[in-house]
Chains A and B, each alone.
Chain A
Amino acid sequence: MKAVLCLFCTLSAAAQVTPPAENWPTYHGSFFSQHYSTLAGITPANVGKLTLAWTHQANSLEKFETTPLVIDGVMYLTEAPNTIVALDPASGRPYWIYEHKLPEVTYPCCGKVTRGVAYADGLIFFATHDAKVIALDARTGRLRWENTLIDHRQGYSFTHAPLVVKDKVIVGSGGGELGIRGFLAALDAKTGKEVWRFQIIPGPGEPGNETWGGDSWKHGGGSIWLTGSYDPELNLTYWGTGNPGPDWNPAVRPGDNLYSDSVLALDADSGKLKWYFQFTPHDEWDWDAVQTPVLVDREWNGRMRKLMFWASRNGFFYVFDRANGQFLLGKEFVKQTWAKGLDERGRPMRIPGMGPSKQGTKTYPGVQGGTNWYAPAYSPRTGLFYLTAWDDYHGTYFAWDQQYEQGKWYAGGGVKAPVPPTRRERIVTRDTSDGYAAVRALDPLTGKVAWDYKMQDMSESGLLSTATDLLFSGNREGHFFALDARSGKLLWRRYLGGQVIASPITYLAAGKQYVTIAAGHTLFTFALE
């Protein structure tokens, strides 16, 4: 509690780039979003003795996508649709539960999911399915302020954990399948008052609007599904944006469709665009750039640089200079059939005829992409970039006409795929001939695969790396496991019996190291005996 009273202590920039090891202070573990922990209690030598410490049952049968925070001895997690739970991270016993009351109809496209919260200065921040941002007192769970950012009935919904940068709470909206016009907004953390807003789909007169034919920008999509990153020295905050709308009928939106499928670097104080990079200009496959911007300070060609690593849903791995957006490297990391490669500026050289069609077009990767929103990890010790890859996997993409109607599905086509997206499949007889998942380690200097840990079914689990060279992950089959981060060798596993569609975290409570993962409808926490 002492720490809670320390004004802005967890906001100090240095503290969040290398956070106090006992906490898991942000959705991605730190401002640099490496999903890396300096805790060293659990090691390759003793990980085999990890046992269950406690479980927490969610009160919802929706997909359980929570990645909790641990702040100074309290864990904060979310349950679908819009519930926040504060509990004791050593015993699992709840302190308080806050249920945000939602209207009857909300518009999350693909399940009433929620992924997490943000914390700063004694407040918990949460973004809702009815397009509100709320702040709760972290000790009591009482509502401090609430701000409605837009009319949710136009298809907007917030599903990701906010990011707190200095005195601002930054959030963005989902809804790319419902014809929204995406935006990012920053609110004053103390009052909830909006400070700036960045329109991801530029309006008339704004730069980028010319990349949309006619009025198509009005329903251009560009969702925010996932929390961004922050570099305190550059004062830039980085966000990945979603697909252009309608997803699979690009004919109605001629042009590159900025800033869909892009990474945006915004000034944290003003929300002004410093630079951007678009991974998939004029996307035809629904390959949102909803990945985690992983920030790494590292030598590149003999010189220390501020880098950003990005494995995109479109099947390519990218390295950027995050100060100016310079494209440094791009290499495919899974089988893809839509681009001959990337040109010297990183723009894909498209192979004609691979977009959706009336009769269907078979293209690699499939609609879930080479990877997706599941968090990758980086280890400053191994220097490797780890991700969950879907390889050798295709989709058959269809396009058809679609009119926009408020609050309705606006996708302009569809996809058939031999491997389904997230689903509670308890019986799986498919083999890996239609695609497989792997925890894949890339050497970020070359984009080459260092090692691969292959699985039978797909995986939608995030990753966690530690200072003892452990790499934790789970999968759709319901397993949770630890690999040797240097070799990919399996060191420990438990069958949890429910799909993992979240990221593992690790923290210290009463001096003991714990590892937590959501699987099925339960949060599982492990520790050494």
Chain B
Amino acid sequence: MIRRNRYLLIWLLGGLAAAQEESSTRIANPFTSDDDRAAGAKLYQSQCASCHGLDGKGGQGTPDFTSGQFRRASSDEGLFQIVAKGISGTTMPAFNLDGKQIWQTVAHIRSFSFRRTAAASSGDTGKGRELFRLHKCAACHESSAPELTRVGRNRPAAELRRAMEEPDAEVDSAWWRVAITLRGGQSLEGRRLNEDTYTIQLLDRQGNLRSADKSDVAQTKLVRTSPMPSYRGKLREQEWNDLLAYLISGDLR
């Protein structure tokens, strides 16, 4: 019991340091003790989880708190303002909680993104960078694949490895590709950026932004698999450690 709590404390403090790093010029959250977080968790379940999910992963137009990245705030103070005032034009309401309660919910939503495992410490980031170059990861990841600078920030190394070993397991629709044949016979192919009832937008293979009117389209083929090859068996264990250490370092230049 005691050991588990101590572990928990270390885990919590690690996350807190990360949070404070960002908010150094802002008002920092004064309510981040274990008790505060527990109170925050309770408030979160009763006041927030309907829309944000008990697990903080979102669920109906709500962002994923476990990613550790917020679209509309970069500091605890910013998060406080959001909870107090709501977000206009969305269903996110203003909350009639007292200041302390708001800080406590902020402490709780921060805790969703605490690093779940240590970085692959055995890896050499320099060698990882070399592998990144060698395998031409940037060729895709600079334009038609997810930005990787922060990918390792709140994700366990094992999860990143799985993403690279089984790229097709879960492909967000943002990375689907499309092949379009126009009535005139011309074809368009690339990453599908946006679509509505009448039009479709894409970034084609040559790097041009294109928009097609569906009334001009003869055929559309949607590709829901990942263009990334599986790296299973293509990297040795030490190479995995190096590459993952590099990704987690967040210093991808």
B-binding residues in A (CB < 8 A): 60-63, 80, 105, 107-112, 177, 247-248, 367, 395-396, 398, 400, 402-403, 405, 407-409, 411, 413-417, 419-431, 454-457, 475, 477-479, 493, 495
The answer to whether B47 and A455 have CB atoms under 8 Å apart is: no
The answer to whether A417 and B50 have CB atoms under 8 Å apart is: no
The answer to whether B88 and A62 have CB atoms under 8 Å apart is: yes
User: Using Cβ atoms and an 8 Å threshold, which residues of chain A touch B49?
Assistant: 398, 400, 414
Q: Which of B38-64 contact A (CB under 8 A)?
A: 45-54, 58-62
The answer to whether B88 and A61 have CB atoms under 8 Å apart is: yes
Q: How close is A43's CB to chain B, nearest CB, in angstroms?
A: 23
Flag whether B170 is at the interface (Cβ < 8 A).
Answer: no
User: How far is it, in angstroms, between the C-alpha of A63 and the C-alpha of B52 when the chains are bound?
Assistant: 20
Q: How close is B80's CB to chain A, nearest CB, in angstroms?
A: 16
Given A112-B88, A424-B89, A428-B196, 20 more pairs with CB closer than 8 A: A63-B90, A105-B96, A109-B93, A110-B91, A110-B93, A111-B90, A111-B91, A398-B49, A398-B53, A400-B54, A402-B46, A408-B96, A409-B47, A415-B50, A417-B59, A423-B61, A424-B90, A429-B172, A429-B173, A429-B195
Contact of A415 among B60, B96, B174 (CB under 8 A): B60
User: Using Cβ atoms and an 8 Å threshold, which residues of chain B touch A423?
Assistant: 61, 90-91
- Secondary structure at the B interface, as helix, strand, loop or mixed, is loop
The answer to whether A431 and B173 have CB atoms under 8 Å apart is: yes
Flag whether B209 is at the interface (Cβ < 8 A).
Answer: no
Flag whether B197 is at the interface (Cβ < 8 A).
Answer: yes
Q: A415-B60, A424-B90 are in contact. Are A429 and B194 (CB under 8 A)?
A: yes
User: Using Cβ atoms and an 8 Å threshold, which residues of chain A touch B108?
Assistant: none
User: Using Cβ atoms and an 8 Å threshold, which residues of chain B touch A457?
Assistant: 196-197
The answer to whether B194 and A428 have CB atoms under 8 Å apart is: yes
Flag whether B37 is at the interface (Cβ < 8 A).
Answer: no
Q: How close is A115's CB to chain B, nearest CB, in angstroms?
A: 15
Q: How close is B181's CB to chain A, nearest CB, in angstroms?
A: 18
Q: List 29 A-B contacts (CB under 8 A).
A: A61-B88, A108-B93, A111-B90, A177-B50, A396-B59, A398-B53, A400-B49, A403-B46, A405-B46, A408-B46, A408-B47, A408-B97, A409-B50, A409-B95, A414-B49, A415-B59, A416-B59, A416-B60, A420-B61, A423-B90, A425-B61, A428-B196, A431-B173, A431-B195, A454-B197, A457-B197, A477-B196, A477-B197, A479-B196
User: Using Cβ atoms and an 8 Å threshold, which residues of chain B touch A107?
Assistant: 93, 96
Contacts between chains A and B (CB distance < 8 A), count: 118
Taking residues whose C-beta sits less than 8 angstroms from the other chain, chain B's interface range is: 35 or more
Which of chain B's residues has its CB closest to A456's CB? Answer: B197
User: How far is it, in angstroms, between the C-alpha of A203 and the C-alpha of B62 when the chains are bound?
Assistant: 37
Q: How close is B33's CB to chain A, nearest CB, in angstroms?
A: 23
User: Using Cβ atoms and an 8 Å threshold, which residues of chain A touch B59?
Assistant: 396, 414-417
Which of chain B's residues has its CB closest to A493's CB? Answer: B198
User: How far is it, in angstroms, between the C-alpha of A30 and the C-alpha of B246 when the chains are bound?
Assistant: 66
Flag whether B73 is at the interface (Cβ < 8 A).
Answer: no
Q: Which of B88-110 contact A (CB under 8 A)?
A: 88-91, 93-97
Q: How close is B119's CB to chain A, nearest CB, in angstroms?
A: 30
Q: A112-B88, A247-B50 are in contact. Are A456 and B195 (CB under 8 A)?
A: yes
User: Using Cβ atoms and an 8 Å threshold, which residues of chain A touch B90?
Assistant: 63, 111, 422-424
User: How far is it, in angstroms, between the C-alpha of A247 and the C-alpha of B50 when the chains are bound?
Assistant: 10
User: How far is it, in angstroms, between the C-alpha of A63 and the C-alpha of B94 when the chains are bound?
Assistant: 15
Q: A408-B96, A429-B173 are in contact. Are A417 and B88 (CB under 8 A)?
A: no
Interface centre among A427, A429, A478 (most CB of B within 10 A): A429
The answer to whether A430 and B173 have CB atoms under 8 Å apart is: yes
Which of chain A's residues has its CB closest to B191's CB? Answer: A429
User: Using Cβ atoms and an 8 Å threshold, which residues of chain B touch A421?
Assistant: 60-61, 91
Q: How close is A476's CB to chain B, nearest CB, in angstroms?
A: 9
Q: A63-B89, A422-B91 are in contact. Are A407 and B197 (CB under 8 A)?
A: no
Which of chain A's residues has its CB closest to B91's CB? Answer: A110
The answer to whether B195 and A111 have CB atoms under 8 Å apart is: no
User: How far is it, in angstroms, between the C-alpha of A110 and the C-alpha of B93 when the chains are bound?
Assistant: 6
Q: Which of B185-209 contact A (CB under 8 A)?
A: 192-198
The answer to whether A427 and B193 have CB atoms under 8 Å apart is: yes
User: How far is it, in angstroms, between the C-alpha of A409 and the C-alpha of B93 when the chains are bound?
Assistant: 10
Q: A414-B50, A420-B61, A429-B194 are in contact. Are A105 and B94 (CB under 8 A)?
A: yes
User: Using Cβ atoms and an 8 Å threshold, which residues of chain B touch A367?
Assistant: 60
User: Using Cβ atoms and an 8 Å threshold, which residues of chain A touch B51?
Assistant: 414
User: How far is it, in angstroms, between the C-alpha of A109 and the C-alpha of B47 when the chains are bound?
Assistant: 11
Which of chain A's residues has its CB closest to B45's CB? Answer: A400
Which of chain A's residues has its CB closest to B174's CB? Answer: A429
Q: How close is A285's CB to chain B, nearest CB, in angstroms?
A: 13
